[in-house]
Amino acid sequence: MKLIKEEFGLRIYECSNYFDKLFGLMFKKNIEYGILIKNCRSIHTFFMRKKIDVLFLDMDEQIISVRYNVPAWRVLGEKKARHVLELPTGYYNNEKKLSE
């Protein structure tokens, strides 16, 4: 994974290969960073140990949908999405948004 941004003390990595995309945040005991999955419209939370917040982004990486506190064993998707940003639960809210 490649570090692409650091904001509010949170590192955000871009998944740069097949295995990064496949495993994402699975099996992590402590989720202390976010991941950006490009060219992706849906994700699963199989084998996740913690809940996450999921942001679906359009082609310009603008937020089009947010799902909060997503537990393990879920499948999520958004037809209009082009990228997905997975964050630790509680990181993204209306008062503290990721800046461009």
Domain ranges in the chain?
Answer: 2-88
pTM (predicted TM-score): 0.86
Angle, alpha carbons 84-2-56 (nearest 5°): 5
Q: What is the pLDDT of residues 54-88, one digit of tens each?
A: 999 999 999 999 999 999 999 999 999 999 999 99
Least confident interval from 8-12, 29-33, 96-100: 96-100
Q: Is the pLDDT of residue 100 over 70?
A: no
> Within 10 A of 19 (CB to CB), how many other CB atoms are there?
10
Class of domain 2-88: mainly beta
Q: Given pLDDT bands bounded at 50, 70 and 90, which one contains residue 8? A: low
Amino acid 58: pLDDT? 96
